[in-house]
Amino acid sequence: MTAHEETDVLVIGSGFGGAIPAYHLAAGGASVVVLERGPWLTADEFEHDFKFGSSSTRVFEFTMGEGMNVLGGNCVGGGSVVYFAAMPRAPQFVFERQGSLGRRMWPKSITRESLEPWYDRVAQALPITQSSWDDVTYAGGVFAAACNHAGRTANPVAAAIDTDLCTNCNWMMSGCKFDAKRSLLLNYLPAAVDHGARIRPLHEVQRIERTPEGAFLVHYTVVDPVDYRVQVDAGVIEAKVVVVAAGAAATPVILQRSEETLGAMPPAVGRYFSGNGERLNTAILNEDRVRDVLGLDRGDGLAYAANQIGRGPSAASWDRLDGSLPEFSRYSLEQLYFPPGFGTILAQAPDAEGPSWFGADKKEILRRWQSWLTIFIMSEDDNEGVFGPPPETGNADRISMQMLSRGNLRYEPTAATRHGWALADADIRDIMERDGLSRVMPWTNEVIGAYTVHPLASCRMGDDPETSALDDTNELRDHPGIFVTDGSAVPGALTVNPAFTIAAIAERAVPNIVRAAQARGVDVRYLGSLPPAARVSRKAPVTVTGP
């Protein structure tokens, strides 16, 4: 047999679910290898550029499915590099959700209260900063003022952003060139490297097999740094423990492909996918009404016209985050920004005589793009996503050199999910169309189906083996030694941005992974330390490829 590299712990993916265990296990004395299929970029390589091949396509992934499209990170640092860093804790009622199961989705050991210490650790490590009205952008301000005008409340949203460094450029989806966004490149990942963890970018894990001795062989390919469709190398690493954190659109696919060598997967692997109940509406503001009705003025003669200015979401309405309301009727509404392209194609022209998402009417509303306000719905969907058979490699068939691929996720929204969306759409219209402030249309779902920037639950935790793939320690049922710690472990939609909860669950999982590693003869301890916060993201080590 070919000699191959060995490590105590192999981590698949370097987003929140991978970086957090990688840091703690390395700090505790284990040898750790992190395989990340995307490239390793740092602040000076993040570009303000829409051009194909710039960082905007190198670090971002758009995976088309049947009825569901997933947008996420594809780089060292994963989602933390491309996200908007909005970090609210999930409300208490979320942990009591039943969905359509008729019983609690979450393990009984996890509640908001039991998760608080783990949230606290993440908040300190990144760090997350509480926001004030001075931090709320023009777009967030218009939304808050419209909420207020409609008798609603609105909150500044906490974020993992150093606002002293932030320039409000709104290029966050291409990575932050100012290191203002407190991504994992500034805390857990450099600290993991300092403790000896080896992070290998452009290494895409394909499958896992078990050795007769009970260790794992993790098979990977190495992808070309420009054309991700091209594989330039392949290899195997042996590990005593495997942490799968490839993201909710990839983790179940790796496990499905591994069935042949690992044995049958729990039935919930690749089922119960949630898109976090996400949906978008675009309001096209009437600048005069913004000034007259809301009394807003930028001080430079403009009332708003600031769609381009900011840093993603800065204000949200939590009026429907009310645990006394029935399930599938609770949601948050968050002001958001998407750049042209992602943020424009599915938007619809109100009162279009012809087609609403393309054509002459669409062009007319695009001319008013600076007066657009994007409102993001995060609601309770019905975990209706199911992954079909895995593609030959990766989690999807790549169409473009970078960014665009076609996977096997099927999602047909149930009546319960659509009910929540309809309530939220109506709520947004009530807030944003009041007294002629704007015209609002939801993005069309008829072109590519639904979409999410927060994929969840495709390999979820729970107490019931039939409907959950992981026990409450994040260990994969029937496959001891394999842990899943990314968004796929979260049982269902959270009604708020999920990164903070994913990170807290990853923190919570670490002592369990340490115990499993110890039981397998790894000399590792759980120290409970936190990574020091760096000011500047550092270059990838020169030796970035396998042995």
Partner 1 sequence: MEDFDGLSADQVMTLEAYADTIIPGERRGPADRAVAGAATGGGAVASGAVELMLSPEGGLAGVLDSLAEGLNEHARDYTARIGLDPDPTVPPFVALACGHRVALARELLAPGHPEQELWVSLAMFSAMAWDTGAHMHTSDAMAAGHPGLTSMGFMPSEPDGIWRFPRFSYGRALAAIHPRTTLRGDPE
Contacts of partner 1 in 158-177 (CB under 8 A): 158, 167-171, 177
d(CA 163, CA 442): 31
d(CA 213, CA 225): 35
Q: Is 401 in the site for partner 1 (CB under 8 A)?
A: yes
Residue 432 Cβ vs partner 1, minimum distance, rounded to whole Å:
14
Whether residue 15 contacts residue 488, with contact meaning beta carbons closer than 8 Å, is answered with: no
- The residue (of 45 and 238) whose beta carbon lies closer to partner 1 is 45
Residue of 236, 404, 422, 534 that binds partner 1 (CB under 8 A): 404
Residue 86 Cβ vs partner 1, minimum distance, rounded to whole Å:
11
- The residue (of 295 and 541) whose beta carbon lies closer to partner 1 is 295
Question: What stretches of 393-498 adopt beta strand conformation (E)?
Answer: 396-398, 404-411, 438-442, 450-452, 482-484
**Binding to partner 1 (CB under 8 A): which residues in 437-496?**
446-448, 496
- The residue (of 355 and 528) whose beta carbon lies closer to partner 1 is 355
Characterize the bridge pairing of strands 155-156 and 315-317.
antiparallel
**Binding to partner 1 (CB under 8 A): which residues in 185-224?**
none
Residue 167 Cβ vs partner 1, minimum distance, rounded to whole Å:
4
Q: Is 291 in the site for partner 1 (CB under 8 A)?
A: no
**Binding to partner 1 (CB under 8 A): which residues in 241-270?**
none
Residue 285 Cβ vs partner 1, minimum distance, rounded to whole Å:
13
Dihedral sign computed on CA atoms, order 47, 397, 15, 378: positive
**Distances in whole angstroms, Cα of residue 117 to Cα of each of 89, 184, 351, 502:** 12, 20, 50, 14
The binding track of 65-94 with respect to partner 1, each residue x by CB under 8 A or -, is: -----------------------xxxxx--
Q: Nearest Cα to 453, choosing from 503, 419, 487?
A: 487
**Binding to partner 1 (CB under 8 A): which residues in 304-363?**
305-306, 308-310, 315, 317-319, 321, 332, 339-341, 344-345, 354-355, 358-360, 362-363
d(CA 403, CA 388): 21
Residue 291 Cβ vs partner 1, minimum distance, rounded to whole Å:
12
Residue 338 Cβ vs partner 1, minimum distance, rounded to whole Å:
11
With CB under 8 A as the contact rule, which of the stretches 19-27, 127-135, 415-423, 469-477 interacts with partner 1? 127-135
With CB under 8 A as the contact rule, which of the stretches 18-26, 247-255, 266-274, 365-373 interacts with partner 1? 365-373
Residue 136 Cβ vs partner 1, minimum distance, rounded to whole Å:
6
d(CA 85, CA 313): 9
212 class by beta-carbon count within 10 Å (0-12 exposed, 13-18 middle, 19+ buried):
exposed
Residue of 2, 134, 466, 542 that binds partner 1 (CB under 8 A): 134
Residue 286 Cβ vs partner 1, minimum distance, rounded to whole Å:
16
Q: Is 114 in the site for partner 1 (CB under 8 A)?
A: no
Q: 109 is written with which tokens?
A: 């050991």
> What is the helix (H) or strand (E) element at residue 257, kind and residue range?
helix 251-257
**Binding to partner 1 (CB under 8 A): which residues in 8-27?**
none
Residue 344 Cβ vs partner 1, minimum distance, rounded to whole Å:
5
With CB under 8 A as the contact rule, which of the stretches 123-131, 246-254, 414-422, 470-478 interacts with partner 1? 123-131
d(CA 373, CA 173): 18
d(CA 459, CA 481): 16
Residue of 285, 296, 375, 517 that binds partner 1 (CB under 8 A): 296
> What is the helix (H) or strand (E) element at residue 508, kind and residue range?
helix 499-519
Residue of 51, 351, 415, 543 that binds partner 1 (CB under 8 A): 51
Q: CA-CA-CA-CA torsion for 241, 245, 251, 255, nearest 10 degrees?
A: 0
- The residue (of 171 and 220) whose beta carbon lies closer to partner 1 is 171
- The residue (of 14 and 332) whose beta carbon lies closer to partner 1 is 332
d(CA 159, CA 232): 38
Q: Which residues, listed in sequence order, are joined to residue 345 by a DSSP beta bridge?
A: none
Residue ranges of the alpha helices (H) in 132-208? 138-149, 188-194
With CB under 8 A as the contact rule, which of the stretches 14-22, 147-155, 505-513, 523-531 interacts with partner 1? 147-155
